Amino acid sequence: MARPRQFRREDIVQAAFNVVRREGREALSARAIARELQSSTMPIYSSMTDMDEIEEEVACRTLDLIIAHETARVTGDAAVDFALGHLTFAEEEPALYRTVYLSHDESQRERKRRLGRVAGERLRKVFSQDPRYADVPAQELQAMLERLMVLAHGYANLHAAGLLEQVDRQELSRIAARIAEESL
């Protein structure tokens, strides 16, 4: 009898991430991961505690990718870079964007809130390191981030829904810069 295949935890998480990245969270299952690994489901269950553990790892990996996009230095202004990065994430990762921002799965609500808090902490740290925003009081910085999120999320949602095919990045940048300037 053939010995069952063994997979490293990282291989299983990467396979799960690939499924969600391609097809969205609703496609994630042990069977989908097994297909991705060209295996049966048994090695997945023997390597991981349960699907919730896998989903948590995929959510954390997704958050890291979102933050990488939102904090990428493009213009040198953290506010403008955030708005452009959020839109870029929606364009380059449509299934992940829909999973995080457009799905209304009640079972994911608490995870999304928790990861949203983590994202907010990371973004506040990035903004506090930008000389333009280093002296902005925490409450005002939070208010600015919320306004920027509404702006970026609005553009990204319209694009993701197919209602805004071409996004004017210069206009998005101008509005983001104006929001930031009003907070200084």
SS3 content of the chain, % helix, strand, coil (to 5): 75, 0, 25
Q: What is the pLDDT of residue 47?
A: 79
Q: Taking 90 as the threshold, does the pLDDT of residue 108 lie above it?
A: no
Higher per-residue confidence, 100 vs 84: 84
| Rounded Cα distance, 94 and 163, in Å | 14
Q: What is the mean pLDDT of the chain?
A: 91
What's the DSSP call for residue 39?
A: S
- The pLDDT tens digits of the residues spanning 127-175 come to 999 999 999 999 999 999 999 999 999 999 999 988 988 899 999 999 9
Domain ranges of the chain: 1-48, 59-183
Output the pTM of the full model: 0.88
Task: Report the SS3 class of residue 11.
Answer: helix
Give mean pLDDT, residues 114-121: 90
The pLDDT confidence band at residue 106, using thresholds 50, 70 and 90, is confident
Of 24, 182, 2, the closest CA to residue 103 belongs to 24
Give CATH for domain 1-48: 1.10.10.60
The pLDDT confidence band at residue 13, using thresholds 50, 70 and 90, is very high
Higher per-residue confidence, 108 vs 169: 169
Q: What is the pLDDT of residue 4?
A: 54
| Rounded Cα distance, 78 and 124, in Å | 10
Fold type of domain 59-183: Tetracycline Repressor; domain 2 (1.10.357)
The region, left, alpha or beta by phi > 0 then psi within -120 to 50, assigned to residue 5 is: beta
| Rounded Cα distance, 126 and 148, in Å | 14
Contacts of 79 (CB under 8 A, 6+ apart): 127, 132, 133, 144, 148, 176, 177, 179, 180
Q: Taking 70 as the threshold, does the pLDDT of residue 181 lie above it?
A: yes
| Rounded Cα distance, 57 and 80, in Å | 29
Of 57, 73, 59, 67, the closest CA to residue 119 belongs to 67
Q: Taking 80 as the threshold, does the pLDDT of residue 62 lie above it?
A: yes
